[in-house]
Amino acid sequence: MIERDDLDVLLSTEEINTRTKELAALITEEFKADNDLHVICVLKGSFLFFADLVREIELDLTVDFLGLSSYGDSTESSGVVRLTQDLSKPIKGRNVLIVEDIIDTGLTMKYLVENLSTRGPKCVKVCTLLHKPDNRTVEVQMDYIGFEIPNEFVIGYGLDYAEKFRNLPFIGVVRKRG
Ligand code: XMP
Ligand code: MG
């Protein structure tokens, strides 16, 4: 069992906020000519990052939510991606931005980009807060990356351990013993 006191801060609230503003400025720049953007929150892990990011994007955007699950309560990828909740509206003709918490093996995002691309969007772009390059097993599209992080299990700011710790305002790692 992991407890809050077992965590070290990997990325502080301030570091996350600063980087989120930088990403939002880049996204605003890319889509301002169209002034159309449909931002998709991948539940549950990206809910805090998503909420902070969209607030900083200076466009008349729309939002939608979908649920994906690939992990269960384990810290290892099962490799099986499941759509647990679909979008509420079609995305045909829209500029779509997927907002994800973390790309690890890449299997989840590969599945999602392929799935959404079949629905006739104008474009699909990917923004992930975290990327673990050491663990990636498949090629996957990543247009905006917040931070590259080491191959360790991270918790907080939306990311869970057995559904807990999503409300921590920072991203933590389990402290190594000794
Ligand atoms: P893949 O391997 O498909 O994984 O790129 C993406 C999904 O796996 C979850 N994931 C994590 N969740 N701490 C977490 O709380 C982690 O360190 C971690 N690594 C991967 C996450 O849900 C992501 O959507
Ligand atoms: Mg998770």
| pLDDT, tens digit, 9 for 90 and up, residues 85-134 | 999 999 999 999 999 999 999 999 999 999 999 999 999 999 999 999 99
In whole angstroms, give the CA distance from residue 69 to residue 144.
Answer: 22
Q: Which atom of ligand 1 lies closest to the CA of 42?
A: 24
CATH number for the domain spanning 40: value is 3.40.50.2020
Q: Which atom of ligand 1 lies closest to the CA of 106?
A: 5
- Mean pLDDT of the region 138-150: 97
- pLDDT score of 69 more than 90: no
Decide which of 72 and 50 is more confident.
Answer: 50
**Angle of the 13-31 helix axis to the 47-56 helix axis, nearest 10:** 50
Which residues hold their Cβ within 5 A of ligand 2, which is an ion? 45, 71
What domain range is 167 assigned to?
A: 4-174
In whole angstroms, give the CA distance from residue 160 to residue 153.
Answer: 10
pLDDT band at 2 (very low <50, low <70, confident <90, very high): confident
Distance from Cα 59 to the centre of ligand 2, integer Å: 29
Domains contained in the chain, number: 1
- pLDDT score of 75 more than 90: no
Predicted confidence (pLDDT) per residue in 3-32, tens digit? 888 899 999 999 999 999 999 999 999 999
Whether the Cβ atoms of residue 52 and residue 17 lie closer than 8 Å to each other: yes
Q: Which residues, 6+ apart, have CB-to-CB distance to 121 below 8 Å? A: 38, 91, 92, 93, 94, 95, 96
Query: What pLDDT shows up at residue 178?
Result: 58
Pocket (CB within 6 angstroms of ligand 1): 45, 70-71, 77, 100-109, 153-155, 159-160
Distance from Cα 46 to the centre of ligand 1, integer Å: 11
- Mean pLDDT of the region 123-151: 96
- pLDDT score of 77 more than 90: no
Predicted confidence (pLDDT) per residue in 32-64, tens digit? 999 999 999 999 999 999 999 999 999 999 999
Return mean pLDDT, the chain: 93
In whole angstroms, give the CA distance from residue 173 to residue 89.
Answer: 36
